[in-house]
Amino acid sequence: MVAFLSARDVAQAVNRLGAKAFWPRLVDYLREDFKAWSAFDKSPRFASHSPGGVIELMPAGDSRTFAFKYVNGHPGNTQLCLQTVVAFGALADVATGYPIFLSDMTLATALRTAATSALAASHLARPESRTMALIGLGAQSEFQAHAFHAILGVDRLRIFDIDPEAFEKFERNMAGSGVALTRCDSARDAARGADIVTTVTADKRRATILTADMVAPGAHVNGVGGDCPGKTELARDLLLRSEIFVEYAPQTRIEGDIQQLPPDHPVTELHDVLAGRRSGRTSPDAITIFDSVGFAIEDFSVLRLLRDLARETGVGSEIELIAAPVNPKDLFSLLRPESAPAVRREAARQGH
Amino acid sequence: MVAFLSARDVAQAVNRLGAKAFWPRLVDYLREDFKAWSAFDKSPRFASHSPGGVIELMPAGDSRTFAFKYVNGHPGNTQLCLQTVVAFGALADVATGYPIFLSDMTLATALRTAATSALAASHLARPESRTMALIGLGAQSEFQAHAFHAILGVDRLRIFDIDPEAFEKFERNMAGSGVALTRCDSARDAARGADIVTTVTADKRRATILTADMVAPGAHVNGVGGDCPGKTELARDLLLRSEIFVEYAPQTRIEGDIQQLPPDHPVTELHDVLAGRRSGRTSPDAITIFDSVGFAIEDFSVLRLLRDLARETGVGSEIELIAAPVNPKDLFSLLRPESAPAVRREAARQGH
C-alpha cells in the first residue's frame, strides 16, 4: 500500500501543524536538500508541448529516494474555470523501485515555491526587512505573503493587481494573519519604500512589471512570475544593476528573467550561498534579485515533508497503487482471486 | 476527481469482461494505436539508474491524450520477496493538462506485453500455428499463454523452466483454460516441433536460450525476455537467418536481441506490417522473429482500454488526485476550509 494525500489532506496536514511550525519546517527541508546539491540527479524535465499548453514530468532524486512531479501549464484554462497549473507527484524507494508516497502537488507546489522564495530572501534581503511589495495577487500571492511573514517577519504588505477582485480575494485570505495590508494604485506605487519587492504576475509574455528606477538601493527583488521561455517580469536595466541569484543556472537562463541577458552574465546559485561557498548580498545598498523558476529539488523537499507529516499527523489514506501478489513470481494469480481456496485444497490433496 | 484502478480493480475489470472478450479487445486497441503510429510523440524514456536497478518514466501521447508510466527494474527484489518490476501510470487530457485516470500498471504491463506478442504473431506466424513452446515460466508466462490461446487459438504448449516450482505455478494458473500442457526437459526439447517459440526468461545477462538449429523452418519466434542492454536470449546465428520484426527500431537496437547485430541490419517495424505498408513473413518456410522490448504506445493502449472498462463495468474508485478550489484563482482558500462560512457572513454584512 502507498500513502496518499489529496489536496484536502495536504491542507489538513499543514493546518494540523499550524502555519507557525509548517513554514520553518518546509524551509528546513529545502535548506537540507539544497545543501546536498551534488547528491542530486539534476536531469532535465520532460516536456510535451501542445497548442493549449505543456505537460511536464519533473524527476529528482538522491541515492535513497526518487521523486517525480506531473505538472501542466495551460494559460487558457481560466476561461474554462479550471486552474492553469495542476500537479501531482510521487516518491519511490531507490533501493527497491517501489513507490511509497503519492500526493496532490497543486497545493504543494504553491507551498514550496513560496518557501523557496522566503529561504532565498532570508539570506539575501537586509535583515531588517519588514515591508514587502506584492505585485500580482493571483493564486501564488497569499502563499508568498504567509511564508515571508513566518520566515522573515514581514508584517507590512503593499499590494497591487490589475484586477480589482484580486484585492478582495487576497484580503480575505490574509484576514487574521497579523499582516497589515496597503492597497496600491500601481506596481510603482507598491514598490515605493519596500524592503522586498515580490513580483508574481501571470501574464504569459515578455512583460516589464519592474524597472530599475522603481527599486530602492538595498532592496531585495523576489521575481517569481517570470518562469518560462518568453515570460518575464523584470526590466533588463534592473537585472543589469543587481546581484542575481538563481536555483540552477542552466535552467534559469532558459526559463527565468535572465533569459534577457547574455548566457555568460554572472549569477550565483542559491545552494552555494546556503552552503557558505558563495556570499549573498555584498553591501547594504546592493539590489539583490532571486530569479525564481522552480526546481525539481523543491518538489523533492516538499514531498519528503508531506510524507513525514502524513506519518506524524495520521492525515491521508492508503491506496493500492501497485499489484501485490502473495508470490512475487506469480503475478497471474491476481487474475484468479476466486481460485485461491481451490488451489490450497488441491495442494493439500496432493500432499504438497 | 480522477478515476483510479488498483491492481485488484484491473483484475476485476478483466474478469468481468472475461478473457474471451478481453484479449481481442486489448489487441484491437493496440492495433488502432500502432496504426496511428505517426500521430504519437515518441520521446525517449527517462531512466534513473542506481546500483540496485533502474526507475523509468515512459511518456506517450497523441494530440488528445497524454500517458505516462512509472516503472522500475530491480533484479534483486526477488530476494526480498518483492516483484522485480512494478508500475503505475496515468492518462491526462492534452487540451487542459488535467489528469483523468490513474491505474496500477504492474498487471496492465503484463497484459499489454502478452497482447502485443499475440498481435505480432497473428500477422507473422503461419496461420495454422497451434503448438507453442514456452521457455521461461516466470511472471509473464501465463499472460503469453492466455493471449496466444485467445488470439491465435494456440491450444498445445510445450513448457520449460530451469525451476521445477515454476512448472507447478504455471500449471495451476492454466488449469481449466483448455490448453494442453507438455512438460519438457530443456529449451531444445520444448522447441521441438513447435509452430511458435516464445522465450520469456528472466536471466539478466547475454544468455543464449535459443539457437538456429533448435528452430524449425516456418516457425515464429516471440522473443520477450531480451529487453534491455546486456540482456539477450536469441543466438546471433538465429537472428541472422530470420526475418526480424520490432516495435520501434531505434529503441530495439539498444534494448532488444538485435543489440547483437550491426546497427544497419534490416528489420521491419510492426506498425508498417499492421498498416499494410510492409509485408510480414515472406514464405511458409521463413523463420520470423518478433524482438519484443515493450514500447510506450502499448502502455497508452492498455491505459485507454482500462479507462473505458472502468466506465463500462463500474469497477474502480475515484480519488482527489489534484486540488479543486471553487475559484481556480483562489488556491489558498483550500488552506482555510473552516473559514468559508465566516467569509460568506462577512461578505453579506459588507453588502458585497
Exposure string over B160-179, b if 16+ CB within 10 A, otherwise e: bbeeeebbebbebbbeebeb
Substitution target in B332, B333, B350, B352 with the highest count of A β-carbons within 10 Å is B332
Residue B189 inside a domain? The answer is yes
Residue B194 inside a domain? The answer is yes
For residue A245, pLDDT over 70 is answered with: yes
Sheet harboring B156-160: ordered strands across?
B180-183, B156-160, B131-135, B196-199, B220-223, B288-291, B243-246, B268-269
For residue A346, pLDDT over 60 is answered with: no
- Chain B residues closer than 8 Å to A115 by CB: none
Residue A208 inside a domain? The answer is yes
More confident residue, A94 or B342: A94
Residue B233 inside a domain? The answer is yes
User: Which residues lie closer than 8 Å to A317 by C-beta, 6 or more apart?
Assistant: A3, A4, A9
Among A77, A84, A323, whose Cβ lies nearest the Cβ of B86? A323
Say if the Cβ atoms of B72 and A95 lie within 8 Å.
no
- Chain B residues closer than 8 Å to A61 by CB: 48, 55
B306 and B183, same structural domain? no
d(CA A28, CA B185): 61
Nearest chain B residue to A343 by CA: give it: B172
B264 and B157, same structural domain? yes
The predicted-structure confidence for B281-330, as pLDDT tens digits, reads as follows: 999 999 999 999 999 999 999 999 999 999 999 999 999 999 888 888 89
Instruction: CATH number of the domain at B216, please.
Output: 3.40.50.720
CA distance A127 to chain B (A): 28
Q: What is the DSSP string of B221-236?
A: EEE-S--BTTBEEE-H
User: Which residues lie closer than 8 Å to B43 by C-beta, 6 or more apart?
Assistant: A46, A48, B59, B60, B296
- Chain A residues closer than 8 Å to B48 by CB: 41, 43, 59, 61, 66, 94
CA distance A275 to chain B (A): 26
For residue B341, pLDDT over 50 is answered with: no
Among B6, B66, B352, whose Cβ lies nearest the Cβ of A48? B66
Residue B210 inside a domain? The answer is yes
Q: CB A25: neighbour CB atoms within 10 A?
A: 16
Mean pLDDT of chain A, nearest integer: 92
Substitution target in B321, B333, B336, B338 with the highest count of A β-carbons within 10 Å is B321
Say if the Cβ atoms of A48 and B41 lie within 8 Å.
yes
Say if the Cβ atoms of B334 and A86 lie within 8 Å.
no
> Smallest Cα–Cα separation from A9: which of A314, A276, A251?
A314
B128 and B83, same structural domain? no
CA distance A2 to chain B (A): 11
d(CA A190, CA A69): 34
B279 and B176, same structural domain? yes
Say if the Cβ atoms of B11 and A337 lie within 8 Å.
yes
**pLDDT band at residue A338 using 50, 70 and 90 as cut-offs:** low
Which segment of A170-184, A202-216, B5-19, B231-245 scores lowest on mean pLDDT? A202-216
d(CA B338, CA B17): 45
ipTM at complex level: 0.87
> Smallest Cα–Cα separation from B63: which of B33, B84, B86, B88?
B33
Q: What is the mean pLDDT of residues B140-165?
A: 97
The predicted-structure confidence for B43-100, as pLDDT tens digits, reads as follows: 778 889 999 999 999 999 999 999 999 999 998 998 999 998 999 999 999 999 999 9
Say if the Cβ atoms of B68 and A86 lie within 8 Å.
no
B149 and B61, same structural domain? no
- Chain B residues closer than 8 Å to A326 by CB: none
> Smallest Cα–Cα separation from B101: which of B111, B89, B112, B110?
B89
**pLDDT band at residue A347 using 50, 70 and 90 as cut-offs:** very low
Q: What is the mean pLDDT of residues A253-258?
A: 93
For residue B106, pLDDT over 80 is answered with: yes
List B104, B195, B227, B291, catalytic entry? B227
Q: What is the mean pLDDT of residues B185-206?
A: 91
- Chain B residues closer than 8 Å to A102 by CB: 321
Instruction: CATH number of the domain at B26, please.
Output: 3.30.1780.10
A145 and A233, same structural domain? yes
Q: CB B91: neighbour CB atoms within 10 A?
A: 23
Say if the Cβ atoms of A72 and B97 lie within 8 Å.
yes
A303 and A291, same structural domain? no
Among A50, A168, A343, whose Cβ lies nearest the Cβ of B94? A50
Domain count, chain B: 2
Mean pLDDT of chain B, nearest integer: 92
B210 and B303, same structural domain? no
Which of the given ranges, A227-241, A268-282, A329-343, has the highest pLDDT on average?
A268-282
CA distance A280 to chain B (A): 31
The predicted-structure confidence for A190-199, as pLDDT tens digits, reads as follows: 999 999 999 9
Q: Which helix (H) or strand (E) holds B28?
A: helix B19-35
The predicted-structure confidence for A107-163, as pLDDT tens digits, reads as follows: 999 999 999 999 999 999 999 999 999 999 999 999 999 999 999 999 999 999 999
- Is B208 in a helix, a strand, or coil? strand
Say if the Cβ atoms of B88 and A99 lie within 8 Å.
yes
Give the residue carrying C-alpha cell 507557525: A20
> Smallest Cα–Cα separation from B58: which of B28, B19, B87?
B87
Which structural domain, as residue segments, surrounds residue A35?
Answer: 2-107+298-319
The fraction of chain A above a pLDDT of 90, given in percent, is 82
User: Which residues lie closer than 8 Å to B344 by C-beta, 6 or more apart?
Assistant: none
CA distance B262 to chain A (A): 30
**pLDDT band at residue B337 using 50, 70 and 90 as cut-offs:** low
Say if the Cβ atoms of A321 and B59 lie within 8 Å.
no
B183 and B252, same structural domain? yes
B128 and B51, same structural domain? no
C-alpha cell at B166: 515454476
B177 and B81, same structural domain? no
- Chain B residues closer than 8 Å to A72 by CB: 92, 96-98
Active-site residue flag, B227: yes
CA distance A69 to chain B (A): 11
Substitution target in B331, B333, B338, B349 with the highest count of A β-carbons within 10 Å is B331
Residue B344 inside a domain? The answer is no
- Chain B residues closer than 8 Å to A299 by CB: none
For residue A350, pLDDT over 50 is answered with: no
d(CA B218, CA A242): 74
Among B43, B88, B337, whose Cβ lies nearest the Cβ of A11? B337
A92 and A152, same structural domain? no
Substitution target in A8, A66, A96 with the highest count of B β-carbons within 10 Å is A96
Residue A343 inside a domain? The answer is no
Among B97, B107, B320, whose Cβ lies nearest the Cβ of A7? B320
d(CA A221, CA A187): 13
Q: CB A333: neighbour CB atoms within 10 A?
A: 20
Residue B331 inside a domain? The answer is no
Q: Are the C-beta atoms of A261 and A236 separated by less than 8 Å?
A: yes
